[in-house]
């Protein structure tokens, strides 16, 4: 067991059983100043104020402790002086495409010169470009490149992430991706969820119709590897009808790419089909907000792709006003968001979407954990949850985290 003491600020405290926060509750989080937290078997075993710190030698839950530093060295347990740093749940990233081959920096100039995401895709760039690269890359090499990205994310404080397939676009290559995701899950200390996104773009050599059928035919095998199913339900990609057909053919829970490029109907079909989340939402009207009300579906916004593609930012504030919760995720991928930095995502939530630091923090922790089915285990400071935590250097709080968004803040990550 270990004990972290002299925590300046313990943030993200939630009672047991709170699996997501919605509306006004997203603007609140439990906080303790001057606190300790105990970890046992990798889980949060207790926390409290320093006045009642259990730093006893040989016995539990006694001892004034903090004004007698001699009890800490030589005690029978590991302990760490947080030196006034903030202790928070690690970031949860419910939407990524980090398994991909190479890069698309070749398209970066086209983008700078004014071509849109759709125009680049129409020229055979975009997702198909990544699929060609992935096809030519060995499984081992794909694993190596993807692991480097996951390591980069963990170094920045991500403790749980979802990864999608979708750069295979034929059965063999989609399964290659799903195996790589499984291998990453088995290697890293972070929690990993896997999503089958066969319907990311129409694979080369298929007509649209034939490819939708091919995706349906991949489902029985994909179900052995994936936790969720996703469809890029958007203009120029897959229709509401395609989406519904694919979702009806599987028992996997949907997470849907919706309303990035157009008001696509993706939100409504996602809600109707019981999606755990509908993601992107750069283009939404009040009809999408109404459709989400009363559902279990978590609206998830990806400010990194708004930033990179110059799209509108999601109307997070309007969703909160309507009583809904909002999650934020990185969308880390080579075409629309080549960045997996969840602290930057949180800052964009504040700067570009006018979320308060607490609202943005809940969006990148508890609500994002919910959006990948992990909020029983991750996303808040709650006894019994995984001790997947970030300890900051002294002097940090949630506001400073988003405000001073590039200053290194991490002292130690517990995973």
Phi and psi torsions of 199, nearest 5°: -85, 65
Reduced to 3 states (helix: H, G, I; strand: E, B; else coil), residue 208 is helix
**Neighbouring-strand partners of residue 300:** 279, 327
Under 8 Å between Cβ of 199 and 167:
no
The one-character DSSP state at 377 is: T
Distance CA 163, CA 190 (A): 12
Q: Taking CB positions, which residue lies at the least distance from ligand NIG?
A: 335
Under 8 Å between Cβ of 357 and 60:
no
Contact flags string 162-201 toward Fe ion, x per CB under 5 A:
----------------------------------------
| Least distance between Fe ion and beta carbon 331 (Å) | 5
Closer by beta carbon to ligand NIG, 4 or else 363? 363
Q: What's the token pair of residue 279?
A: 């993601």
| Partner that binds at residue 36, options Fe ion, ligand NIG, none, CB closer than 5 to 8 Å by kind | none
| Least distance between ligand NIG and beta carbon 81 (Å) | 42
Helices (H), 223-353: 240-248, 266-272, 286-292, 303-309, 316-321, 342-351
Q: Which is it for strands 85-89 and 389-394: parallel, antiparallel or unpaired?
A: antiparallel
| Partner that binds at residue 165, options Fe ion, ligand NIG, none, CB closer than 5 to 8 Å by kind | none
| Partner that binds at residue 334, options Fe ion, ligand NIG, none, CB closer than 5 to 8 Å by kind | ligand NIG
Closer by beta carbon to ligand NIG, 4 or else 169? 169
Closer by beta carbon to Fe ion, 90 or else 334? 334
| Least distance between ligand NIG and beta carbon 309 (Å) | 8
Would you tell me how many other CB atoms lie within 10 Å of the CB of residue 123? 13
Alpha carbon distances (Å) from 233 to 57, 109, 151, 194, 277: 59, 27, 30, 19, 13
Among 288, 331, 341, 359, interactor with Fe ion by CB under 5 A: 331
| Least distance between Fe ion and beta carbon 255 (Å) | 10
What DSSP letter does each residue of 396-413 carry, written as one string?
Answer: --HHHHHHTTTS--EEEE
Distance CA 153, CA 340 (A): 6
| Partner that binds at residue 137, options Fe ion, ligand NIG, none, CB closer than 5 to 8 Å by kind | none
Closer by beta carbon to ligand NIG, 37 or else 302? 302
Closer by beta carbon to Fe ion, 281 or else 381? 281
Binding site for ligand NIG (CB under 6 A): 97, 126-127, 130, 232, 257, 260, 305, 331, 333-336
| Partner that binds at residue 239, options Fe ion, ligand NIG, none, CB closer than 5 to 8 Å by kind | none
Contact flags string 69-88 toward Fe ion, x per CB under 5 A:
--------------------
Helix (H) or strand (E) holding 253, with range, is strand 253-258
| Least distance between ligand NIG and beta carbon 115 (Å) | 13
Interface contacts to Fe ion, rule CB under 5 A: 331
């Amino acid at each position: 067991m270990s004990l972290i003491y002299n925590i300046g600020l313990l943030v993200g405290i939630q009672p047991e059983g709170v699996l997501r926060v919605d509306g006004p509750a997203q603007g609140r989080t439990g906080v303790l100043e001057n606190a300790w937290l105990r970890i046992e078997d990798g889980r949060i075993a207790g926390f409290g104020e320093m006045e009642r710190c259990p730093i006893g030698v040989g016995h539990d839950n006694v001892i004034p402790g903090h004004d007698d530093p001699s009890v800490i060295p030589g005690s029978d347990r590991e302990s760490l002086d947080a030196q006034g740093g903030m202790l928070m749940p690690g970031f949860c990233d419910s939407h990524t495409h980090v398994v991909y081959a190479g890069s698309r920096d070749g398209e970066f100039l086209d983008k700078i010169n004014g071509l849109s995401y759709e125009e680049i895709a129409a020229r055979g760039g975009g997702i198909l470009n990544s699929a060609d690269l992935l096809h030519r890359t060995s499984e081992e090499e794909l694993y190596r490149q993807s692991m480097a990205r996951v390591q980069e994310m963990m170094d920045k404080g991500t403790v749980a992430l979802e990864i999608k397939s979708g750069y295979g676009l034929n059965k063999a290559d989609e399964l290659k991706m799903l195996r790589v995701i499984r291998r990453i899950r088995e290697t890293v200390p972070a929690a990993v969820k896997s999503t089958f996104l066969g319907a990311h773009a129409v694979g080369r050599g298929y007509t649209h119709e034939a490819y939708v059928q091919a995706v349906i035919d991949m489902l029985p095998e994909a179900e052995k590897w994936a936790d969720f199913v996703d469809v890029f339900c958007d203009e120029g990609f897959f229709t509401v009808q395609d989406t519904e057909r694919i979702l009806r053919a599987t028992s996997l829970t949907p997470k849907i790419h919706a309303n990035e490029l157009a008001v696509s109907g993706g939100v409504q079909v996602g809600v109707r089909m019981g999606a755990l989340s509908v993601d992107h939402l750069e283009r939404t009207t009040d009809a999408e907000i109404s459709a989400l009300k009363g559902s279990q579906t978590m609206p998830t916004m990806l400010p990194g792709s708004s930033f990179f593609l110059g799209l509108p930012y999601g109307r997070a504030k309007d969703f909160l006003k309507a009583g809904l919760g909002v999650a934020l995720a990185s969308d880390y991928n080579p075409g629309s968001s080549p960045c997996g930095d969840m602290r930057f995502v949180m800052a964009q939530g504040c700067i570009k979407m006018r979320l308060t630091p607490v609202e943005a923090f809940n969006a990148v922790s508890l609500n994002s954990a919910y959006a990948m089915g992990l909020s029983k285990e991750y996303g808040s400071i709650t006894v019994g949850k995984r001790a997947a935590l970030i300890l900051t250097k002294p002097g940090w709080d949630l506001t400073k985290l988003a405000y001073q968004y590039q200053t290194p803040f991490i002292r130690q990550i517990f995973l």
